[in-house]
Amino acid sequence: MGRARKKAKEEDNRSADDAEPSPAETKNFFALVMKVIKGVNEFYKAIVAIIAVGGMVYGCVGHTNTDFTVLGTDGDSIILKVSFTGPKLRWSRLSDFRVSFDGLPIEDAKLKLIRGEEGNALVSVLSPGIIHLTAPGLRARCRIPRVADLPDRYEKDEIVSQIPDQSVALTISVHENGGTRDVKQPVQAALIKEFIVRHLPDHVPDKTSCS
Look at residue 211 and tell me if it is in a domain.
no
pLDDT tens figures, 45-68: 555 444 444 444 434 445 778 899
Among residues of the chain, what percentage have pLDDT more than 90? 45
Look at residue 172 and tell me if it is in a domain.
yes
Number of domains observed in the structure of the chain: 2
- pLDDT: which is higher, 102 or 205: 102
Rounded CA separation 123/26 (Å): 61
* 113 and 32 share one domain: no
* 110 and 181 share one domain: yes
* 48 and 136 share one domain: no
pLDDT tens figures, 160-172: 999 999 999 999 9
Residue 41 sits in which domain range?
Answer: 2-60
The residues pairing with 28 across neighbouring beta strands, listed in sequence order, are none
**Mean pLDDT confidence for 17-46:** 61
Global pTM exceeds 0.85: no
* 86 and 165 share one domain: yes
Q: Using CA of residue 157, residue 160, residue 166, residue 170, what is the dihedral sign?
A: positive
Look at residue 209 and tell me if it is in a domain.
no
Which amino acid is residue 95, in one-letter code? S
* 146 and 168 share one domain: yes
CA angle, corner 59, sides to 53 and 60, nearest 5? 95
CA-based nearest residue to 196, from 82, 83, 103, 94: 103
